[in-house]
Amino acid sequence: MDKHKILIGTIILMLTAVAVGCGGSRPAADSADARYRRAPLREVTEQQLATDSRLIDALALQTTGREGDALAAYAALTRDDPKAAAAWYEMGRLLAARGWTDSAEACAARAATLQPDNTWYLLSLAHIQQQRHNAKAHAATWERIVKINPENLDYYYELSNAYLEVPDLNKAVEVLNRVERLIGVSEPISLQKQKIWNAAGKPDKGLREVEALADAMPHEKRYQAILAESHMRQRHYAKAKQYYDRILAADPDDPYIHIQLAEYYKAVGRPAEADSEMVAAFRNPALDSKSMIQILGSFYTEEEFYNTRRATTFRLLDMAMANSNDSADLALLYGDVLMRQEKYAEAAHQFDLALRTDSSRYEVWEALLICLTEEPTQKARLADRAQRAARLFPMHTLPHYLLAMAAYEEKRYDDALAHLADAMKWGFTKGYLESQCYALEAECHYRAGHLDKTWASFERRLAQQPDDIEALNNYAYYLAEQNLNLEKALEMSRRTIEKEPEVANFLDTYAWILHLLGRDREALPYIEKAVRLNPSSDTLKEHYRTIKAQ
């Protein structure tokens, strides 16, 4: 019983579609079901009944998924009855769905010719023409649709867009003018016309569209803002200022009008007044922190931000921090500014503030750690932050390296080596801190008495950076202290004094190795120069006395 009910319902629906398709009635613009309304009863011929019967059969095939058979049935029907508009329409839809858009357009055009007032047929034709990028025909079809549906505003918008595809910008605007004659001036229409005129290279006409909108709705300050910004883009600064003043008079508490005025004063070469307007905007608690960051980043150039307008940017950042409940992003920006100015303690404070809100960003931890390394009095704080960063981000090198440095300074060499092992475990990103880790590893091994490991660490360091004079000097000096491989030590030390002939420690190392090789006469001028450069060093004085006595 249910199957019969479904079949009967399907046939009724198809009969309704046929009646509308063949009868040529036009769908109501405000109803999606208009296509399926039953046409008024009328007398039909035997041929028409036969056509309707065959159309129903084809629709049944189409509805049950046998689209190939349906397509053949429609084709046969149109051969036998070329005036079967509904068959041409359905055949066009099936062909378009299969991607055969050239044949589909021909079928849809035939249906629209047979029933020129049938909106459904015209809509189908317009859709297919758009698929085929047949822009002129597409626009012409939309003209027909608008003509028979003059009350449907959406169709005017589609027609205007169709002319944009041609392109025919004048006609696109003319269609929108028709809408204005129907409903009056409105924001969507005026702004769309402005865009079209701007695209056509006629910004003055675009401005007139917005001016008409502003005159029609004087209470809407955003239209004044659009006009001001448009004049700013065209460098009509005096005209722009008139609109900005109107906005300010209407709403002096709006923070964004002060930002716009700041842009104006900057453009006309009055930076002090631009700064004053920015301060007025940042003083307003209605300006949120994200907006403040965006404004600072876009308003000032890097040179202005960090140098020529530095005092103002510092003041703005202070105000922003004071007015912001969620200051993490602002703290990052402020910290960056302070860090670039080498105000490391203040920058570290800002980075700490940011981490209290969000501790998941490694780059903030790294910036904090770098700042703390520049503050000799912050060693305990540095060790604490490095420890926390190492737990949160074990794959990053810097926290482990700093922990190794702290342990080394406290003469906990085994702990330092353990931290260095953690630093090296994950490898080095683009060589970052690789050489420093090998150099520190060598120092730790030497002081822990691991001589073979010391030499191996120095070799790894020098393999990576052969001209590292600090590593060359220390390696040479430690070999000399152990009275090992003195010729190699002398060659490494010679390279350091050739590159840096005014460094007392390098000269001392070279002189001392010469002394160990029994070449005191050669060593004497080097140790004398070292003492002159650093007369307060007891070690240098002792070496000088030893060498001179020989």
Question: From the centroid of its chain, how far is CA 248?
Answer: 33
pLDDT value, residue 369 = 94
**Residue 153 has which token pair?**
């505003």
Mean pLDDT across 466-477: 94
The amino acid sitting at 156 is Y
pLDDT value, residue 284 = 86
Look at the alpha carbons of 413, 419, 424, 430 in this order and tell me if their dihedral is positive or negative.
negative
pLDDT value, residue 32 = 42
Residue whose tokens read 């990103």: 429
Distance CA 186, CA 188 (A): 6
The amino acid sitting at 61 is L
Spatial CA neighbour of 89 closest among 77, 43, 139: 77
pLDDT value, residue 219 = 73
- 293-334 tens-digit pLDDT: 888 878 888 788 778 888 888 888 888 777 665 567 778 888
pLDDT band at 500 (very low <50, low <70, confident <90, very high): very high
Task: Evaluate if residue 142 carries a pLDDT over 50.
Answer: yes
The answer for residues whose C-beta is within 8 angstroms of residue 362's C-beta and 6 or more apart is 389, 392, 393, 396
pLDDT value, residue 44 = 66
**Residue 65 has which token pair?**
């998924």
Distance CA 146, CA 157 (A): 10
**Residue 502 has which token pair?**
């005014």
Contact criterion met (CB below 8 Å) for 472 and 506: no
Q: In order of start, what are the domains of the chain with their CATH numbers? A: 1-132 (1.25.40.10), 184-252 (1.25.40.10), 477-550 (1.25.40.10)
Distance CA 434, CA 182 (A): 74
Distance CA 96, CA 111 (A): 14
The amino acid sitting at 193 is K
- 14-37 tens-digit pLDDT: 333 443 444 443 444 444 444 434
Task: Evaluate if residue 159 carries a pLDDT over 50.
Answer: yes
Contact criterion met (CB below 8 Å) for 392 and 423: no
Our CA dihedral for 68, 71, 75, 76, rounded to 10 degrees, sits at: 60
Distance CA 480, CA 153 (A): 94
Distance CA 483, CA 399 (A): 36
Distance CA 363, CA 313 (A): 23
pLDDT value, residue 177 = 87
H or E stretch including 473?
helix 469-481
Contact criterion met (CB below 8 Å) for 72 and 92: no
Task: Evaluate if residue 491 carries a pLDDT over 90.
Answer: yes
pLDDT value, residue 447 = 95
Mean pLDDT across 232-248: 88
Task: Evaluate if residue 441 carries a pLDDT over 80.
Answer: yes
| 6: number of Cβ within 10 Å | 10
249: left (phi over 0), alpha (psi -120 to 50) or beta: alpha
Question: From the centroid of its chain, how far is CA 90?
Answer: 46
> Which of 30-34, 194-198, 483-487, 546-550 is modeled with the greatest confidence?
483-487
Residue whose tokens read 């010391």: 454
pLDDT band at 450 (very low <50, low <70, confident <90, very high): very high
Residue whose tokens read 């002398």: 490
Distance CA 69, CA 88 (A): 15
pLDDT band at 435 (very low <50, low <70, confident <90, very high): confident
For residue 303, give Cα distances in angstroms to 310, 313, 334, 388, 541.
9, 11, 16, 35, 50
pLDDT value, residue 23 = 40
pLDDT band at 336 (very low <50, low <70, confident <90, very high): confident
pTM surpassing 0.75? no
Residues of the chain above pLDDT 70, percent = 91
Mean pLDDT of the chain: 85
pLDDT value, residue 334 = 81
Contact criterion met (CB below 8 Å) for 386 and 373: no
Spatial CA neighbour of 366 closest among 383, 346, 386, 384: 386
> Which of 49-58, 168-177, 534-543 is modeled with the greatest confidence?
534-543
- 506-537 tens-digit pLDDT: 999 999 999 999 999 999 999 999 999 999 99
Look at 23 and 64; give whichever has higher pLDDT.
64
CA angle 290–291–293, rounded 5-degree value: 65
- DSSP for 136-174 reads HHHHHHHHHHHHH-TT-HHHHHHHHHHHHHTT-HHHHHH
- 385-431 tens-digit pLDDT: 999 999 999 999 999 999 999 999 999 999 999 999 999 988 777 77
Look at the alpha carbons of 244, 249, 254, 259 in this order and tell me if their dihedral is positive or negative.
positive
Distance CA 319, CA 250 (A): 25
Q: Where are the beta strands (DSSP E) in 490-541?
A: none
Task: Evaluate if residue 111 carries a pLDDT over 60.
Answer: yes
| 246: number of Cβ within 10 Å | 18
CB hemisphere CA count around 209 (13 angstroms): 24
Residue whose tokens read 């290279």: 201
pLDDT value, residue 324 = 65
Task: Looking at 184-270, list the stretches that DSSP marks H as alpha helix, in order from N- to C-terminal side.
Answer: 187-199, 203-216, 221-233, 237-250, 255-267
